[in-house]
Amino acid sequence: MVEPTECFVFLCRGKIRDRDCRMPIMLPADAFERQFPNRAVQSKDDYPVALLCWRCKRVDIYSPLQNSPYYDPGWQKKECFPAGDTEFLLSLQCEGGNCEFRAPLFVTWSTDTTVEEKECAVKTWQGTDLHAPDGHLIHWHWS
């Protein structure tokens, strides 16, 4: 039996037919904590993450920190049942010259998703208009 796990839940900012998607996107806390092991030590730092909405295929950057440019006021931390296996895919990076901004992209796949299915799926994702805090465009790997 699948056990609930603590998750960060953000609301999708994408659009479907000119309407807000608002689909909940879950990031298991342990995936976040593996990527940011020093989070508790530097709790005032911003740790934005890039997440995919499977409904509208939009990738966006989210943060639970209120003063972050990526803050989602609808975010929650709560117990959820995992929808599959969450993996760190890569870090999205700023295209600006000296900008060091990076946002780890986490994706939750169903447990039986094949490599070929993953390769086809990423080509449908939308993330070409993401920006770093300084306004520089973030490189989108699949355009």
Q: CA 11 to CA 68: how far, in whole Å?
A: 16
DSSP secondary-structure letter at 88?
E
Q: What predicted TM-score, i.e. pTM, was given to this entire model?
A: 0.89
Confidence (pLDDT) at 41 = 46
Chain-centre distance for alpha carbon 104: 7
Confidence (pLDDT) at 128 = 84
Per-residue pLDDT tens over the stretch 29-64: 888 788 777 765 455 667 899 999 999 999 999 998
Residue 34 near residue 24, CB atoms below 8 Å: no
Confidence (pLDDT) at 140 = 86
- Domain regions of the chain by residue span: 5-122
Confidence (pLDDT) at 1 = 64
Confidence (pLDDT) at 101 = 86
Q: CA 74 to CA 47: how far, in whole Å?
A: 17
- The predicted model gives 5-22 an average pLDDT of 92
